[in-house]
Amino acid sequence: MTGAQAQAPGLEGRAGEDSGASHFGARVVADRLKVSETVEVSGEPVRTQPGTLGDPFRVIQLLPGVVAPLPGLPLWSIRGASPGTAGFYLDGMRLPQLFHLLIGGGVIHSELIDRIDFFPSGYDATMGKAAGGIVSASTRPARGDGQHLDLSLRLYDVGGLVELSLPKGVRISVSGHYGYPGPLLRAIDNRIELDYWDYQLRLDWRFLTLQVLGGYDALALSINQDLEYSTAQSTRMMFHRAQLRLHGERERLSAEAALYGGYDQAGDVSGRGVDKLMAGVRGFVRYRLPRLLLQVGTEIEVARFSGERFDVGLRSLAFVRNAEGPARVSGKDPDTTPDELGEIGQNRVGVTSSFYLHSELALWPQRLLLSAGGRVDIYHVGKETLIGFDPRAQLRFVATPWLSMQASIGVYQQPPSFPVLLPGIDTFALKLGLQSARSTVLSEELSLPGDLLLRLSGYHQRFSNMTDMPPLGSSACAAPPPPSLHGTTATLVRVADGQAYGMEVWLRRSVGWLSGWISYTLSRSERSYPCGVRAADYDQTHVLQVVAQVRLPRGFVAGVRLQFNTGRPETLLPLETDTSAALQQTADRSISDGLRNNIRLPNYVQLDIRLDKRWTFRRWYLHAFLEVVNATFSRTNLYLAYPASEDVAVGKKEPELLGFNWILPSLGLRGGF
């Protein structure tokens, strides 16, 4: 690690600084003045934040506006949007996932990540094809000051990074992980088997950058084998990407062009599943004047999709059996009857085209900044074509050196998406129409004494045609499967309109021996169900995050993270037994007027702790860490499971709150030169 990296802040910054630091509002990155509301994650401190297992991507879930409906899993609802509407980008390439399954870390080696930009909403027209938040990461080239090696060993995986500086300015980095979490997971639950790996290759020479990367996950759960027509649940996910970028700058003009391709697969451990083979080109041209910046860009992608019968054991889950109904026309024995994948498994060719125009104008230099633009996205499959036009604008006013304000408004659209992001499952079911979010954000940022920054934000988003999952527990007030869908797609996809609104408070300190932040989110996410407007299934009213790191003598760093959030809504049907009274008393009075989501699951509290120690020698370094995620052994609650008809016949009427208690320790070493 270079000296510059050692001093890089994790989450900080001031308007107008060119420090590469992170903050909200206007910031200078390379040659461009950004007006969008942004959090930038960078530097060594974000690799040692408690609760992240050393993965910079996981810092996103500690930020305001981000709700994790299932604690411990990297499944996010960002400012009330559906989890499947988020967009993940790496160096301009869209990735189907950021993390390996369960305890696996990020699919990109943490030492490669130069910067992560998090856009919760209100971003400009240069980013699109997402109705929710966007995470955009940039990797760095290999260091040019010689050869470097970084090796890491943890309880459940091993990782490595090799950096080569060759003659004539050629720089190459090779990195990856191999996971062996089986023994650790079996100590928690002997019915779980998990394997994963990833790799990254990057070559830089002058104005050319070549990148190749990929990841693999295989998960098998041996659960509920006594249920009728139940199979062992298995999941296999894999993706590969290759990209060649050309980038350059001359005086006021800068440009970038890229040719990329990839392969995605999601299915079962036998290798059957949904496949996507794609190729595309993209590029932009940016022109700068003293008070005006103009940028135009385009992207065209062609993808071939195919599917082969597979079964991931979802029928062992009660909510899937309840949701099937007429949606599934095949038999119930997956070993003898083909499983209809529906629209996600159709053989098809999809074409996506995007064009955008973006401008930034200094109406009052260093004081009043205006960003405006629009983009057109076209999606085509077979006889279906969807066209989305997204106008967007942002305004930032720097009132004093210690006070700035920002407003943004825009339209954000994307095609139908699976409720959970998976490789190879996109550009399907265009008959459902575009998902749309109309977003408005107001925020202000204050610099306070003691190197403190306070940011206050309020937002409102109006959603149309958002895709969600059917309810996990009771099917009361559940929307029926969309009539244009069939098979598995109809079983697991529901469409609803809605809205989300909330307030965020974020107080942070990024310099000195004590750093961290306190964030609080007060929010409400709603959907229009057949029985009326109700809280969305993953709505959480209150979310509090307290993160602190203390730099101690002799190279020690200690960190703690405390999370509190209210429970998600759940549906409690009227019960005639005495045991139902306790559950009825937990009802949220603001949502108890109907049968859908009329109570909330128990509140959730999680404590994470981490201790790091670093030894720096003349030619090499050694880094040891101990981390315990969810040291409080808190319980993740899934849903209320209602008894089957045969159980009711023998007198069992009470629903069961399904969930599990968990704790995840991590111990590791990292060293290199």
Q: What is the pLDDT of residues 639-666, one digit of tens each?
A: 888 776 655 555 666 788 988 898 988 9
Say how far apart CA 598 and CA 580 lie, in whole Å. 13
Query: What contacts 629, CB < 8 A, 6 or more positions away?
Result: 51, 53, 72, 606, 608, 663, 664, 665, 666
Asked whether residue 105 carries a pLDDT value surpassing 70, the answer given is: yes
Please identify which residue in the block is written with the tokens 């969807």.
386
Q: 305-323 burial, b for 16+ CB within 10 Å, e for fewer?
A: bebebbbbbbbbbbbbbbb
CATH classification at residue 623: 2.40.170.20
Closest CA to 598 of 627, 569, 626: 569
**Of the ranges 79-88, 117-126, 224-233, 629-638, which one carries the lowest mean pLDDT score?**
224-233
* HSE-CB for 459 with a 13 A CA cutoff: 33
Average pLDDT over residues 246-257: 94
Closest CA to 60 of 22, 34, 26, 16: 22
**Which residue type, as a one-letter code, is found at position 166?**
L
Coil, helix or strand at residue 484: coil
pLDDT of residue 10: 45
- At 287, the pLDDT band (50, 70, 90 cuts) reads very high
Regarding beta strands 556-565 and 604-616, do their DSSP bridges make them parallel or antiparallel, or are they unpaired? antiparallel
**Of the ranges 118-127, 218-227, 635-644, which one carries the lowest mean pLDDT score?**
218-227
Average pLDDT over residues 558-564: 97
Instruction: Report CA-CA distances (Å) from 240 to 95, 96, 99, 257, 284.
Output: 9, 10, 14, 20, 24
pLDDT of residue 4: 33
pLDDT of residue 324: 52
Q: 440-478 burial, b for 16+ CB within 10 Å, e for fewer?
A: bbbbbbeeeeeeebebebebbbebbbbbbbbbbbbbbbb
Say how far apart CA 526 and CA 68 lie, in whole Å. 16
* Count of Cβ atoms closer than 10 Å to residue 139 Cβ: 20
pLDDT of residue 463: 97
pLDDT of residue 171: 97
**Of the ranges 38-52, 59-73, 225-239, which one carries the lowest mean pLDDT score?**
225-239
Total number of domains in the chain: 1
Asked whether residue 576 carries a pLDDT value surpassing 70, the answer given is: no
Say how far apart CA 306 and CA 266 lie, in whole Å. 11
Q: Which of 27-31, 65-69, 411-415 has the highest mean pLDDT?
A: 411-415
Tokens of residue 399, six digits = 């009132």
Coil, helix or strand at residue 450: coil
Please say whether the beta carbons of 247 and 258 come within 8 A: no
Instruction: Report CA-CA distances (Å) from 431 to 341, 343, 436, 599.
Output: 16, 10, 15, 34
The secondary structure element, H or E, covering residue 644 is: none
- At 86, the pLDDT band (50, 70, 90 cuts) reads very high
Asked whether residue 88 carries a pLDDT value surpassing 70, the answer given is: yes
- At 249, the pLDDT band (50, 70, 90 cuts) reads very high
pLDDT of residue 314: 54
Tens digit of each residue's pLDDT (9 = 90 or more) over 432-455: 999 999 999 999 999 999 999 999
pLDDT of residue 624: 96
- At 321, the pLDDT band (50, 70, 90 cuts) reads low
The dihedral formed by the CA atoms of 202, 237, 640 and 665, expressed in degrees to the nearest 10: -50
Please say whether the beta carbons of 164 and 183 come within 8 A: no
Please say whether the beta carbons of 583 and 572 come within 8 A: yes
Say how far apart CA 52 and CA 63 lie, in whole Å. 12
Residue 400 domain boundaries: 3-672
Please say whether the beta carbons of 515 and 509 come within 8 A: yes
Say how far apart CA 613 and CA 611 lie, in whole Å. 7
DSSP 163-176: EEE-GGG-EEEEEE
Coil, helix or strand at residue 292: strand
Please say whether the beta carbons of 217 and 237 come within 8 A: yes
Per cent of the chain over pLDDT 90 is: 62
Average pLDDT over residues 295-307: 96
pLDDT of residue 649: 56
**Of the ranges 239-248, 338-347, 465-474, which one carries the lowest mean pLDDT score?**
338-347
Average pLDDT over residues 312-317: 52
* Gap between the terminal Cα atoms of the chain: 8
Q: What angle do CA 503, 606, 444 make, to 5 degrees?
A: 20
pLDDT of residue 320: 58
Q: Is the dihedral of CA 407, 412, 417, 421 positive or negative?
A: negative
Strand partners, 560: 548, 609
Please identify which residue in the block is written with the tokens 């910031």.
27
Asked whether residue 312 carries a pLDDT value surpassing 90, the answer given is: no
Say how far apart CA 143 and CA 138 lie, in whole Å. 15
Tens digit of each residue's pLDDT (9 = 90 or more) over 613-623: 999 998 999 99
Coil, helix or strand at residue 588: coil
Strand partners, 349: 304
- At 352, the pLDDT band (50, 70, 90 cuts) reads very high
Please identify which residue in the block is written with the tokens 């825009």.
410
Tokens of residue 121, six digits = 């909403």
Residue-averaged pLDDT of the chain: 85
Burial of 425 (0-12, 13-18, 19+ CB in 10 A): buried
Strand partners, 343: none
- At 480, the pLDDT band (50, 70, 90 cuts) reads confident
Phi-psi region of 249 (alpha: psi -120 to 50; beta: other; left: phi over 0): beta
CA-only gyration radius of the chain, Å: 25
**Of the ranges 145-149, 340-344, 504-508, 652-656, which one carries the lowest mean pLDDT score?**
652-656
**Of the ranges 246-255, 406-415, 455-464, 488-497, which one carries the lowest mean pLDDT score?**
488-497
Regarding beta strands 192-205 and 32-34, do their DSSP bridges make them parallel or antiparallel, or are they unpaired? unpaired
- At 606, the pLDDT band (50, 70, 90 cuts) reads very high
Note the residue count of the chain.
673
Q: Which residue has the higher pLDDT, 226 or 311?
A: 311
Asked whether residue 339 carries a pLDDT value surpassing 60, the answer given is: no
- At 101, the pLDDT band (50, 70, 90 cuts) reads confident
**Which residue type, as a one-letter code, is found at position 20?**
G
Asked whether residue 333 carries a pLDDT value surpassing 70, the answer given is: no
- At 243, the pLDDT band (50, 70, 90 cuts) reads very high
Say how far apart CA 489 and CA 426 lie, in whole Å. 12
Q: Which of 216-220, 324-328, 348-352, 644-648 has the highest mean pLDDT?
A: 348-352
Say how far apart CA 279 and CA 261 lie, in whole Å. 4
Instruction: Report CA-CA distances (Å) from 71 to 47, 631, 659.
Output: 20, 13, 11
Asked whether residue 145 carries a pLDDT value surpassing 80, the answer given is: yes
Tens digit of each residue's pLDDT (9 = 90 or more) over 379-409: 999 999 999 999 999 999 999 999 999 999 9
Please say whether the beta carbons of 242 and 261 come within 8 A: yes
